[in-house]
Amino acid sequence: MSSPIDRYLLAEKAGTEGVWDWDLRTDTLYLSRRFKEFLGLPPGDGLNCPSDWLDRVHPDDLDWLHASFEGQMVGVTVPFQIEHRVRSGPGWRWLACRGVAVSDEEGTPIRLVGSVADVTERKLAEQRLRQSEERYALAAAASNDGLYDWDLKAESVYYSPRWKSILGFEEQEIGDSPDEWLGRVLPDDLIWLRAALDAQADGDGKPFQIEYRMLDAMGKVRWMACRGIAVLDAAGTPIRIVGSQADVTDRKQAEQQLRQSEERYALAARGANDGLWDWTLADGAVYYSPRWKAMLGHAEDEIGTRIDDWFDRVVPADLPGLRTAIDLHLTGEREGLQHEFRMRHADGGERWFLARGLAVLGPDGRAVRMAGSMTDITARKKAEQQILFDAIHDGMTGLANRTLLLDRVGQALDHRRRAGGRHFAVLLLDLDRFKGVNDSLGTAAGDVVLKTIAARLERNRRMGDTLARLSADEFGVLLNDVDAVGDAMDAAERLAQAVAQPITLDGHQMVLTASLGIALSVTGYDRPEDMLRDASLAMYRAKSGGRNRIDVFDGNLRRQAMAQMRTETDLRRALEQGHLRLFYQPIVELADGRIAGFEALMRWQHPERGLVSPAEFIPLAEECGLIVPMGRWALREAARQVADWQRRFPRATPLSMAVNVSSQQFRDDDLPSLVRAVLDDAAVPPSSLKLEITESLLMQDPAKARALLMTIRDMDVRLSIDDFGTGYSSLSYLHTFPADTLKIDKSFVQAITTGEGSAAIVQVVTTLAAILRMDVVAEGIETEAEAAFLRDIACRYGQGFFYARPAPADAIEALLEREAAEAAPAG
C-alpha cells in the first residue's frame, strides 16, 4: 500500500501544484519538491519546520495565513484558499494556497494538508491590466471623451457622466442597460457597431474603432467615434468591454462640406461654374458668361459687352488695385492675374470675388486678349474675418480678449505721449469665489453665469470704453477720458453694482461680488503690460483685504511686489546656498513625558534679516513652485538627522521623525521614488519615518490619494493625517487610507478647558483612532490641564510648548543627552 508521501508525489507529477502536510502533533512539515522550488529550499526529502515556509511569507500576508490555519484548527470544515507572497530572490512570488484540517476519531485536528500553485504571472497580468485601464481612463478624460464599461456577464453598462452629457442627457436620465446605447444608434449603422462589439465578446483581442450616428436627447443625429477593447479573465475569456465615445459631428460635417466644395470645384472646372470672361484688348469688347452675370444677380441681357460693364461695378476703393494687377500682368511683370476685390451685387450688397486670367500673345509678342474666370469668395472672406475677430475676442462672451485690450491700451499710451490727450485708466475686475459656482453647479452653469456677468458689464460700461474678458472669471476695462481718480471709482462702482445683482439659475438665486483694481495713466507708463500688471496688483490687494472692494494702485503696491520678488530671489538662493534650516519639536509619550520622536519644521536663516517666519516664506514658496525642491531637501535632511540620533541614542523603540508633505509635492512630485531614495541614502528604518499629510489634501481626490499612500505604506513608512477634524467630513474615507496616526489640531486641544465642546471632539477622535488601531498625537499642548486631560482619555502622544518649543539640532541633542543620563542606572 502506498504511503501518503507517495500519493503526494504522484499528485504533484500529475499537475503543476506543490503539496504540503503539516503534522500538528510533531510540528513537522512535509513539503513537496515543487513547493520547495517555490520557496527556494534545497530539494532534499527530509521533513521541514513550519518556519521554513512561514519565515518566507511577506509580513503583510502572514497574519491572514495564520488566520486561515487557526480557522481550520477551531473547527471550520470548509477548506481555506488564500493568496500570499513568499520571498523569491530579490523579489516576491505569489502563491495560491489551499488547505484543510484532518481530524482524528475524536474530531481533534491532527494535520493540515493542502497544495500551492504559483500565480505570479496572473498577479502581474492583473496589475498590468489595472495600470492599462487607469492610463486609458486618464487618456480618455484628457481627450474629453465619454467612457463606458460593459459587463458582459451582468449585461449592464456603466456610462460616465461625460458619455451622457455628450448626448445632452442628465446623469439620472440614462440607466445601465445596453439599450440606452444601442437603442439610439441609427439602424443603418447599428449592424456595424454590433459586429464590432460581437468580435470583442468572441475574444478577438484587438481594439476596435468605429464611427456611427446616434440620436441625442433632442432627437438630432450626432456622429460618434467609438473605441474599445475587451478585458479578459485569467482563462482568456472576455468579461468586459471598455472604451470611450466622442462626438465627431463637427468633423463629419466639415468633411461633408469639403467633399461638396471639391465637387463644386470639379463642376466649375468642367462646366465653367465660375464666371468666365474673355477680353479683346484691341476693341475693348468682353465676353461675360451667363454664370459671370448670374453671380452678380443679373439676367443674361442685363450686362453688356464692354470692360466698363465690369469695372463700373467694382467697389471704388478696390478698383485701382484691380487695374494695377491687370497692368502688371499685361506688361509681363507678373506671370498671371490673380486678384481679390469687391463688386456691387444687384441686390445692393457687396460680394468678394477672385479674378484669375492669362494674356494671349500675338505674333509680335504683345497681348491681344486676356481671358480668365471669376469666383465668388464671399464666404471665405467672411470666414477669414471671423478668424480675425476670434483672434482678438473671447469665444464665449464675444468681448474683446487680452490681446485686443493691450492693443487699445497701447494706442491710448501712444496718443497720450504724442498729443498730450486726457488721462485714462485700466480697471481689472475679478469675481469673488467663482470657483465655488463651477464646483457646486458644474462648468455649464458657470458658463451661463459668466455670460450673464459679461452682458451686464457691457450694458453698464461707459460709451467708448473697451471691455475685455482676460481669463475665466477676470475682466478688464479701458476707461477713457479719466480726469481724476473719482471718475474711475464711479465707473468701477457702477460695474461692481451690476455684478452684485441677483442671478437666477435653475430656479435659484445667487449673488456674486467682485474685487476691482484700478491703475491710472497719470502714474506714468511706457508699456500697456505694466499698466495691466499694476491694475492686477491693486485687484489682489482688494481681494486680500476682504473681497468686494475697489482699490487703486499706488507706489506702495509696486514696492511690495518688488519686495516679494526680491524675497523669492533670496529664497531661491537660500535653497541653493544652504541657508534653510530644520528645527525639531519633540513628540512625547504623555504618560511619562519621554521623547518618542520629532516633527521637522522648516526655517530660513536669512544672512541679513535673520530668522524669517515660515508664515512669510512658505506661502511664497508654494506660489512660485519652490516648495517641491524645498520639501525634498527637508525630507532628506530630516531622515539623515534621525538616523544619526538613532545611532547615538539607541532605544528599544527607535526615535521617529515626522515630515510635512505639501500639496504640490503630493500632487506633482514622484513621492514614492523620493521616499525610496531617502531611505536608501540615510539608512534609516522605514518605520521610523512618518509623512504628515493634511486631511484637506487627502479629500481633494481620495482614490488617487489612497493609491499613492498605499505605495508608500508598502515600504513600511508610516503615514499621519495632520489637522484632523478641521472642517472636512472624511470619516467615510478614513478607514480606506493606510494611515497610522491622527494628529488632533491644536485649535481643539487648546479649547479643551474653555467649555466650547472641543474636549468631547478630542475624546471622540481618540476613541475613533483606538478602534481603527491608529496612534493619536495631540498638537499645541500648552498647559498641564490640557496634558492631564489628554492622559486621562488615553491619548498616547503629544507635542507643544508645554513640553518643548521647536529648536535646532544641537538644542535637541542636549535634551536627548539629559534624558539618556536620567534613564541611566545609578552607580
Q: What are 177-206's pLDDT values in tens digits?
A: 999 999 999 999 998 898 888 888 777 667
pLDDT at 590 over 90: yes
Nearest to 496 by CA among 519, 477, 520: 477
Task: State the cell numbers at 617.
Answer: 516664506
Task: State the cell numbers at 392.
Answer: 482678438
Task: State the cell numbers at 111.
Answer: 494535520
CA 688 from centroid of its chain's CA atoms: 32
- Burial grade of 651 (CB within 10 A; 0-12, 13-18, 19 or more): middle
pTM to 2 decimal places: 0.43
Instruction: Count other Cβ atoms within 10 Å, centred on residue 357.
Output: 21
Nearest to 22 by CA among 107, 115, 94: 115
Percentage of the residues of the chain whose pLDDT score is greater than 90: 42
pLDDT for the residue numbered 1: 42
pLDDT tens for each residue of 450-474: 999 999 999 999 888 999 999 889 9
Average pLDDT in the 643-653 region?
93
pLDDT for the residue numbered 261: 53
Instruction: Count other Cβ atoms within 10 Å, centred on residue 710.
Output: 14
pLDDT at 14 over 50: no
pLDDT tens for each residue of 434-450: 888 887 788 888 899 99
Q: How far apart are CA 483 and CA 40, in angstroms?
A: 89
SS3 422: coil
pLDDT for the residue numbered 142: 43
* Helices and strands of the chain, counted as H and E runs: 30, 31
pLDDT for the residue numbered 502: 93
Helix or strand run (H / E) with residue 366: none
Number of residues in the chain? 827
Nearest to 593 by CA among 796, 301, 811: 796
Q: Which amino acid, residue 643?
A: A
Q: Which of 75-84, 223-232, 490-499 is the least confident region?
A: 75-84
Going through 194-349 in order, the beta strands assigned E by DSSP cover 208-215, 221-232, 238-247, 275-280, 286-288, 337-344
Q: Which amino acid, residue 408?
A: R
Instruction: Count other Cβ atoms within 10 Å, centred on residue 545.
Output: 11
pLDDT band at residue 104 using 50, 70 and 90 as cut-offs:
confident
pLDDT at 267 over 50: no
The single residue listed with the C-alpha cell 500529475 is 14
pLDDT for the residue numbered 529: 93
Q: How far apart are CA 785 and CA 126, in angstroms?
A: 54
Q: Which amino acid, residue 640?
A: R
SS3 44: coil
Q: How far apart are CA 177 and CA 308, in angstroms?
A: 71
- How is residue 480 annotated by DSSP? -
pLDDT band at residue 555 using 50, 70 and 90 as cut-offs:
low
Q: How far apart are CA 439 and CA 699, in angstroms?
A: 14
Provide the mean pLDDT of the chain.
85
Average pLDDT in the 159-185 region?
93
pLDDT for the residue numbered 181: 95
Q: What is the DSSP string of 555-617?
A: HHHHHHHHHHHHHHHHHHHHHHHT-EEEEEEEEEETTT--EEEEEEEEEEEETTTEEEPHHHH
Q: Which of 28-32, 39-43, 318-322 has the highest mean pLDDT?
A: 318-322
**For residues 505 and 440, is the Cβ–Cβ distance under 8 A?**
no
pLDDT for the residue numbered 729: 47
Helix/strand/coil (H/E/C) assignment for every residue in 432-479: CCCHHHHHHHCHHHHHHHHHHHHHHHHHHCCCCCEEEEEECCEEEEEE
Q: How far apart are CA 659 and CA 741, in angstroms?
A: 13
Nearest to 340 by CA among 348, 349, 327, 351: 351
CA 640 from centroid of its chain's CA atoms: 33
Q: Which amino acid, residue 604?
A: W
Task: State the cell numbers at 601.
Answer: 519644521
pLDDT at 733 over 70: no
Q: How far apart are CA 813 and CA 641, in angstroms?
A: 11
pLDDT at 561 over 90: no
The single residue listed with the C-alpha cell 487703486 is 552
Nearest to 627 by CA among 697, 711, 559: 697
Q: How far apart are CA 827 and CA 819, in angstroms?
A: 17
pLDDT at 279 over 60: yes
Widest pairwise Cα distance in the chain: 133
Helix or strand run (H / E) with residue 301: none
- Between CA 700 and CA 707, with CA 704 as vertex, the angle to 5 degrees is 140
pLDDT at 7 over 60: no
pLDDT band at residue 770 using 50, 70 and 90 as cut-offs:
confident
Average pLDDT in the 300-318 region?
93
What angle, 0 to 180 degrees and rounded to 10, lies between the N-to-C axes of helices 555-577 and 528-544? 90
Q: How far apart are CA 26 and CA 164, in angstroms?
A: 65
Q: What are phi and psi of 613, to 5 degrees?
A: -65, 135
